[in-house]
Amino acid sequence: MVFPGTFAATDPTKPALVQADDGRVVTYGALEQRSVRLANHLREQGLAPGDSVAFIAENTPEVFEVYWAALRSGLYVTGVNHHLTPDEAAYILTDCGARALVGTGEHADLVTAVAELVPGLEVRLAFEGPVRGFDDYEEALAAASPVAPADQPRGTDMLYSSGTTGRPKGVKAPLPPRQVDEPGDMLAAVFGPLYGFDADTVYYSAAPTYHAAPLRFGGMVSMFGGTLVMSRRFDAETSLGMIEQHRVTHSQWVPTMFVRMLKLDDEVREQYDVSSLRVAIHAAAPCPVEVKQRMIDWWGPILYEYYSSTEANGITLIGPEDWLAHPGSVGRAALGVIRVCGPDSTELATGETGTVYFERDELPFTYHRDPERTAAVTHPAHPTWTTTGDIGHVDDEGFLYLTDRTAFTIISGGVNVYPQEIENALALHPAILDVAVVGVPDDDLGQAVKAFVQPVADATPSETLAAEILASLEGTLARYKIPRTVEFVDALPRTATGKLAKGRLVEAQRRG
């Protein structure tokens, strides 16, 4: 386990990357040579260790060529969400100090507009079609040296939080003090042995690589010599077909993907052979207990969950056996020590609900150019305890259970209501495709609980349907938790990794 060059030397024709939508294959030999050429091109253009390169692209092999070019050059690599507006994308590029941008012709309008807003971009490369003002990616690689330099300092990613509660925050870690061919990757050391990553791994991901887990796990597959199969976007039935076609052994999901697959007709689900799967990893958002149980009933006890963040300030892990004994838990700490604190920042007793912190030996990250935000997530009395704003409790065996995020807690009549609990209870309702619960201003209660529901295609929004949905919660939730109102919507704001961008709903309700 080191990096693609290790496997290019021993098995250069083995597929490293497969773009499932068009069948394109990049071998380990090609990944090594192309990332070397790109690294040399960036170096020739003046980029040096500590500088930043960014990409705007769909899930394509070029993303991992950029990734490994950065990681073998001591550079920071930043993925930019191609759904952003030019101003939003330019904010990220400016904030991370990007000197190079690799973009795709598929998003030429965005890439061009962003480049005009960020004058500090000295290197501009485009693939999959021309982009005005950008050099051709393939021509740049062809002109660069294919010889890896003797000095290849390890770079790392600099990714941005998904911005579900505000403007994205750049997470910047120190550059690793080693060469690219030296072991020492923390995440690979944790997840590789746990999930059995090796040269026989065939890993499927349909989540966008501008987010932390798809990019980092995709890179991790190459560290172990496996094959990464990726789709440009998630579709429930297509994903099942990809598992069967490529004999996928490992895969990564978010709970909304599970819900979509479970809502396929039984005869559709049953026609696909998923028996090759050994490990189905899920994260990004808490998974409703009923959803996870039904997935285990379908796929078997192969679901492995972790709880972490772009900040990687801590990690919890839980396998299927432990989850079946502790349903709803996200596991025990594998990185850091869990500390749960109350509103006054004092540490709470076992079983009490509060803000979840992770204690580390040193501060594990800072928000780039934002010491105030860094201070806001750091415990006031313990400078190596940090939080990403989640609420939860720990049982007497050390298993963590998440309740919600601090920013989304509803205080109704002086009582805390956690929307996640309500959303979980509605996730598999047959008339609901998607649901979000928020607090809305209320003269009597301060805040009232409101559900936003995206109905399934054959369900007609109506007062009758709203009443039926609310009635389904009777006996499941306390009456004060049941939403006062339901609003039907065409779609809910979610990030491409499945997280609810609930801040947009909350802000819209505040504006009235």
- Encode pLDDT of 182-209 as tens digits: 999 988 988 999 999 999 999 999 999 9
- SS3 assignment for 425-491: HHCCCCCEEEEEEEEEEECCCEEEEEEEEEECCCCCCCHHHHHHHHHCCECCECHHHCCCEEEECCC
What is the 8-class DSSP label of residue 148? P
In this prediction, residues 93-100 reach a mean pLDDT of 96
pLDDT band at 256 (very low <50, low <70, confident <90, very high): confident
CB 99 within 8 A of CB 123: yes
User: Tokens for 416?
Assistant: 């805390």
What pLDDT, in 10s, does the model give residues 317-347?
999 999 999 999 999 999 999 999 999 999 9
Q: Sign of dihedral through CA atoms 27, 180, 124, 210?
A: positive
In this prediction, residues 132-151 reach a mean pLDDT of 97
Integer Cα distance of 326 and 399 in angstroms:
8
**Collapsed DSSP state (helix, strand, coil) of residue 266:** helix
Identify which has the larger pLDDT, 344 or 440: 344
What pLDDT, in 10s, does the model give residues 278-320?
999 998 777 899 999 999 999 999 999 999 988 889 999 999 9
Residue 249, pLDDT > 90, answer yes
Residue 195: count of CB within 10 angstroms of its CB: 24
**Collapsed DSSP state (helix, strand, coil) of residue 347:** strand
pLDDT of residue 1: 60
pLDDT band at 510 (very low <50, low <70, confident <90, very high): low
How high is the mean pLDDT of the chain?
A: 93
Residues near 266 by Cβ (< 8 Å), separated by ≥ 6?
none
Report angle CA 122, 127, 133 to the nearest 5 degrees: 40
Please name the helix (run of DSSP H) or strand (run of DSSP E) that holds residue 35, with its range, or none.
helix 28-44
pLDDT of residue 495: 73
**Collapsed DSSP state (helix, strand, coil) of residue 224:** helix
pLDDT of residue 512: 60
Please name the helix (run of DSSP H) or strand (run of DSSP E) that holds residue 373, with its range, or none.
helix 371-376
Please name the helix (run of DSSP H) or strand (run of DSSP E) that holds residue 290, with its range, or none.
helix 289-299
CB 170 within 8 A of CB 160: yes
pLDDT of residue 162: 60
Residue 314: count of CB within 10 angstroms of its CB: 26
Report which of 270, 283, 272 is spatially closest to residue 246, judged by C-alpha positions: 272
CB 23 within 8 A of CB 230: no
Q: What percent of the chain has pLDDT over 90?
A: 77
CB 438 within 8 A of CB 492: no
Report angle CA 269, 323, 307 to the nearest 5 degrees: 90
Domains and CATH numbers, the chain: 4-224 (3.40.50.980), 234-405 (3.40.50.12780), 409-511 (3.30.300.30)
Report angle CA 165, 97, 136 to the nearest 5 degrees: 110
Which stretches within 101-211 are classed as H helix?
A: 108-117, 137-143, 186-195
The residue assigned the tokens 């965005």 is 110
Residue 508, pLDDT > 60, answer yes
pLDDT of residue 168: 79
Q: Which amino acid type is present at position 4?
A: P
CB 455 within 8 A of CB 492: no
pLDDT of residue 443: 77
Please name the helix (run of DSSP H) or strand (run of DSSP E) that holds residue 423, with its range, or none.
helix 419-426
pLDDT of residue 511: 64
